[in-house]
Amino acid sequence: MTYRTTCPQCVSVFRLGADKLDAAQGWVQCGVCGAAFDARPSLLLENGSPLPPMAEPEPVKVPASPEAAPSAGLEAAGATPAMAAETPEAVPGTEDVAITDIPRGIAQREVSLDLPSIILIDPDVQMSDDPGPLPQFHPVPAYPSASAAPAYPFIPVAPEAARPPAARVEYASPRPGTAHLPAAPRRIKPWAWGVASALLLVLLLAQSTYFLRDTLISRLPQTRSAFEQACAVLGCTLSLPKNLALLQIVGSDLKTEAGGRLSLTLTLGNRAGHAQAWPVFELTLTDLRDRPIARRSFAPSEYLDDARRIEAGIPAQSEQTLKFELATRNLAAAGFKIRPHY
């Protein structure tokens, strides 16, 4: 059966089982505030209703004989030997004794309370006043007096001038107890730093010139002869300058030929004072609303048949006529756009 009780300190409500409540004789400890209290005065049923009233216990008849009085009375009431010490002596005859120390709402214990941890003391037994053997303390021996202390002879100290010189000892390793300090590093002279920085700067410039040689030739065409001599020694190659700002499309014309083929003719001018690489042309066909309907790119090998001409590049200060052939299917091109790029 399960009961409900309330902590008087923090007013926390707990549920208790009848077995646990009987084992602790009604005493519990709150799990919230830690207070220990008797749960029997505040016991309720599990649903919160008060406990039902208990029936009045039957009177116990105590026999007249002194030997049978404690045994018979305890067995009839369900008591234990621990309660036998508190049972008063029986009087001749029989009388009704009502057990009134059982709280209301708690069933009478049916399990024996003969616990091994309970020590019963008979008040009729005379206790001895002898506390037993007392601890013994031994006296501490006293220190000897100044007169009894041994006397040592006085040895005079020679003056410092009369002392012999102390021998000098050389240690192969650091003396014990002294820290071993590393030697200070040698400081590099400032001129050495300057020479090293200059060499690194020259090396950086040489690497940049080697890997960016084509860009430098495009911006500085007059340095091409020097780069050609250097590449002859290093085994590198040079490409032609690529400067779109110095290329110009002088004129262009788009014609439709038989079979739906398109033919584009344009004139490309090189305004630079040196030869430049042939560009890649991007042709875009547009409709009547100038919207692109087709696009194609032409590499130098597609609009030039001579490999030597491609390698030599566009001559300086010249104009070259180029022709592009384009096959189309059901494309009604109304216009075009063409632009060179590298």
DSSP string, 19-50: HHHHHTTTEEE-TTT--EEE-STT-EETTSPP
Most confident of 15-19, 42-46, 295-299: 295-299
* pLDDT given at position 321: 93
What CA–CA distance (Å, rounded) separates 32 from 205?
81
Could you report the per-residue pLDDT of 238-258, keeping only the tens digit for each? 888 888 999 999 999 988 877
* pLDDT given at position 228: 85
What CA–CA distance (Å, rounded) separates 59 from 169?
109
> How do the domains of the chain map onto residue ranges?
2-45, 196-234, 244-341
Confidence of residue 298 (pLDDT cuts 50, 70, 90): very high
- Distance between start and end Cα atoms, the chain: 97
Nearest to 283, CA basis, from 306, 304, 301, 266: 266
* pLDDT given at position 166: 60
Cα-based torsion angle of the residue sequence 290, 341, 313, 227 in order, rounded to the nearest 10 degrees: 170
Q: Taking 60 as the threshold, does the pLDDT of residue 333 lie above it?
A: yes
CATH number at 244-341? 2.60.40
Residue 131 β-bridge partners: none
Predicted TM-score (pTM) of the model is 0.38
Q: Exposed, middle or buried, 13 (CB in 10 Å: 0-12/13-18/19+)?
A: exposed
Confidence of residue 80 (pLDDT cuts 50, 70, 90): very low
Could you report the per-residue pLDDT of 130-148, keeping only the tens digit for each? 776 777 766 766 666 666 6
